[in-house]
Structure formats: structure tokens, C-alpha cells
Chains A and B, each alone.
Chain A
Amino acid sequence: MSGEEEENAAELKIGDEFLKAKCLMNCEVAVILEHKYEQLQQMSDDPLNQVSQVFEKSLQYVKRFSRYKNPDAVRQVREILSRYQLAEFELCVLGNLCPETVEEAIAMVPSIKTKGRAHDDEAIEKMLNDLSLIKKFE
């Protein structure tokens, strides 16, 4: 498939379908999967038997790598990041990795510095500051 060959997340080439889709940060996935797991728990005694290996592995993974634990903080992160005209994918990479410096942020999400985008170092720095504030007050 020729589309496959051009795939490059660093340039935000992830295919139209996924570019328009709603991206989820690890912490958001944790909220969704834990909720679903609780529902299963209420229905049967042995919920682990009910879920697929993919579900189980994903749940473990997002629990381990969630930067924000409480659902309110998770909501705030999305709200703050969405003020910066980011693509969904960029927003989630930043929310997942929580870079500390501007250089790190650009290394993680090279597409925020591409031509025609209004992100100078100052704006990025402000965004990272806002993010670390949520973490601090969580």
C-alpha cells in the first residue's frame, strides 16, 4: 500500500482517517478501561477471564504510564492543550510524554515547528508550564 509507505508521525502523516479521529491520552484510556473493567466485575466474579489479552495488556500499560491520575486533572490537561491549536495526535503525544523543556517538546513532536504554524518557543514554553502546573496541583 503506497499510503503505508509515507506514514510518518513526526510529520503528522498518519492517514486521513486517524488524523480526524479522536486521539486518547494514556490517562484517558485508563479512565475508560477501568470503568469498563469495573462494569465487568459487577457482572461476574472473574472479570480477568472475560477480557482479551489485548485489553489486559493495554490496561496495565496505561495504568503504568498515566501522568495524571485523577479524572479532573485529565480533563484539565486536554482543555489547556486544546487552546494551542494542536492536532489531536500532537496534543496526546505531549500529554503522554510531558516534556520538560522546549527542545524536548520539539524533539517529541517535530510537527509543531513546521512552517506555517504559529508556535514560537515562547508559546511552547508557556504550554509546558501550564502542563506542569496541573501536575503540581493534582
Chain B
Amino acid sequence: MFFHIVLERNMQLHPRHFGRHLRDNLVAKLVKDVEGTCSGRHGFVVAITGIENVGKGLIRDGTGFVTFPVKYQCVVFRPFKGEILEAVVTMVNKMGFFAEAGPVQIFVSNHLIPDDMEFQSGDMPNYTTSDGSVKIQKDSEVRLKIIGTRVDATEIFCIGTIKDDFLGVINDPVTS
């Protein structure tokens, strides 16, 4: 899910940036440092939408660098266990398939794909029901439920399932 939240960060600024454009430099550096990063707590920072306030700077002993506490509003994407969302299939293999929902990767293991769907190898590997009516392949859109998340320093990775009511393919790239 996407959220609009306020975060705070201490920004260190080199003395050469002091002057009329101090604030602009500070904001530019913030955008460069923060956008595109990911933390386990807040998820992916997609875009900074505004600066709430810039606190009083503190000169560091010895270096001349100044630290400013900056409060900023941003759009973040944070997946939650139990959340249901839509995703695009990016890769299919016999272990299951990978899907992407915005910045996050989700793996759906073949144990969590309905039992009546069989893996078919070939140019376009896919999972298909025995009657061929439903097919999951690259670029399919699926609705899935996140059942687990793994967080490391720079990425969040999810495990999902489509083995539940109202989950599964929502659009087939072949038929639509």
C-alpha cells in the first residue's frame, strides 16, 4: 500500500553551500539521498512531496559541516503481511512465479498456486488449468495476498499466495 507520511532526517551540509541558496541545496541533497531508498520500517521512499520544516543547524566540531534536522512529506510504498494487492507477473518457472507490485518483488511458490493449475514449460512458461481457461504467464495481472515479508538493508521481498477466494488472474495478456 502507498502512504503519505512525514519523515525526519538529519542532513549534513558542506559550508560551501551556505548562502542564499542554502535551503535549495538542502532540499536537492535530501531528494538525492532519500528518493529510491528502502528501509524495513517505512518501506520504499517513492517521492518527496514537500518540506515540512527545516530545524536549526548545528555546527559540527572540527569539520565546519552543519547538521540540519529536516522534516519532509513523502510517498512511500510499504507492503504488509495479509495485504491483498494486484501485481504483474515478471517470470514463471517450475518453482512458482515472480510478480512485481511497484518497487516490490513478490514470489508465489507452486505450493501456493491452486492445485488444478499445472506448470507448462516452453518458450512462454506458464501455469494453466486443465481445461486451459486460466493461464498465468509473463505479463499476466494477478491479484495476490502477501503472506510473508523479508526485509534486508536495501530491499523488501515478499512471499505471496493466490490459493484463496477471489485471488488469481485478473487479466490475461493473450485474451485481452
Residues in A lying within 8 Å of B, measured CB to CB = 7-11, 13-14, 17-18, 21-26, 28-29, 32-33, 36, 51-55, 57-58, 61-62, 64-65, 89, 92-93, 96-97, 99, 103-104, 107-108
Contacts and interface: CB of A to CB of B under 8 A. Distances in A.
A7 B147 CA distance: 10
Given A24-B2, A55-B46, A58-B77, A99 B88 contact: no
B9 interface: no
Given A9-B80, A36-B49, A108-B84, A55 B35 contact: yes
A58 B45 CA distance: 10
B163 interface: no
A112 to B, nearest CB: 13
A9 B146 CA distance: 9
Contacts of A24: 1-4, 75
B2 A55 contact: no
Contacts, number: 114
Q: B-side binding surface: helix, strand, loop or mixed?
A: strand
Nearest to A65: B86
B90 to A, nearest CB: 11
Interface in B37-67: 37-38, 44-47, 49
Contacts of B35: 51-52, 54-55
7 contacts: A23-B3, A23-B4, A24-B1, A25-B2, A55-B46, A58-B46, A99-B166
